[in-house]
Amino acid sequence: MSQITTLIQPHGGKLINCYLSEQERKENLLKATNLPSLTLSIRNIADLECIATGVYSPLEGFVNKQEYNSIVRDMRLPNGLAWSIPVTLQIPESEAEQYKLDSEIALAHPNGEILAVMTVNSKFKPNQRFEAQQVYRTSEEAHPGVKAMLQEGNVYLGGPIKLINSVPYQDFLDYRLTPEASRVEFARREWNTVVAFQTRNPIHRAHEYITKIALELVDGLFINPLVGQTKSDDIPADVRMQCYQVLMQKYYPQNRVCLSVFPAAMRYAGPREAIMHAIARQNYGCTHFIVGRDHAGVGDYYGTYDAQYIFDEFTVDELQITPLKFEHAFYCTRSQSMATGKTSPSTKEERIHLSGTKVREMLRSGKTPPPEFSRPEVAEILVSSMKLTTV
């Protein structure tokens, strides 16, 4: 007999859906052609997608001034609901005059296609240095998140959106599950408990180890790699997807793992981004979320486990998704297996530490990652891709 599947509620209790009916879409598209048009950046498009499909529930648009101030200051929306990073629509001050307060504007793809209509109910210039310090813990432009924020513009427009046309993706079409679709899939598989794994790197042996430990505790594993904008030196998403696919085929039980892309752009906001990532996965229908070493980190801006500590600042009523906190995993030469400091008595010299950074360094120097570091099938894909980029 099939079990009754009861999925976790979306953050805030309601899954946001900004899609219009066909009739509404036609009416709004006609109207939008006569509205002031704003061409979205790559990060804007990713945020629009996440808002419209409910990934960022309960947000119904780009944040207004009141929401922005509350998030930056307190990591909560004005109603007290947990939210850690302001999702903003920014423009240069030189272009601000054409977008009027209390009016509608068209949001366009760089190819000219109108994607959405937004009601501008807020227009303001915040203290970006304060935002940077609060969200990224630094105002240095060397930080990729700070740099991206400053480049987007210093005038912020806020307001709800209505999606007219879906974002015209050409890649990963079989792996673009919206929260509504992932919930249907989890229910079909009769998964009541699901653990999400966020990554922007190929899955190396340490990742495989912690995901499989997590899989012992729940019904299913949701591998949800970020494929939005990342740093130029990160391994491209299409290469990473090949790695995820071969790993799933050979090293994971097919009936207990689901692969789908996360369309968000990477902010590298460390602890605050860990909270945002967890909330997004709750909206996808996940009950648990893996938080490892330096989640969403970059450089030396955050402490090794700061992204785990920040969850202690929220109650179980504020964040229903459960974080699974893992120590830095390594290959133990004494036991000849993966381990952490909790399970291995090995000395420092007996531990081979793994990281996405080390993988990239080895590939750039023409070295093949060893089996203690990466599955041979994954290493082969990575080496082949590096050869293609250097030809």
What are the phi and psi torsion angles at 84 (to 5°)? -105, -20
Element of type H or E holding 268 = none
Q: Is 192 noted as a catalytic residue in this protein?
A: no
Name residue 246's amino acid.
V
**Catalytic-labelled residue, pool 201, 224, 283, 351:** 201
Please state, as a whole number, how many other Cβ atoms lie within 10 Å of the Cβ of residue 240: 26
- Token digits for 69? 């101030």
Tokens (6 digits) for 340: 């952490």
β-strands 155-163, 114-120: how paired?
Answer: antiparallel
Rounded distance between C-alpha atoms, residue 196 and residue 281, angstroms: 7
From the candidates 200, 205, 281, 351, which is the catalytic residue?
200
Give 80's contacts (C-beta < 8 A, 6+ positions apart).
none
**Phi, psi (5° rounding) for residue 176?**
-110, 75
Q: Are 330 and 364 in contact (CB under 8 A)?
A: no
Calpha distance 358→207 (Å, rounded): 14
Does residue 201 carry a catalytic annotation?
yes
* Residues carrying an active site annotation: 200-201
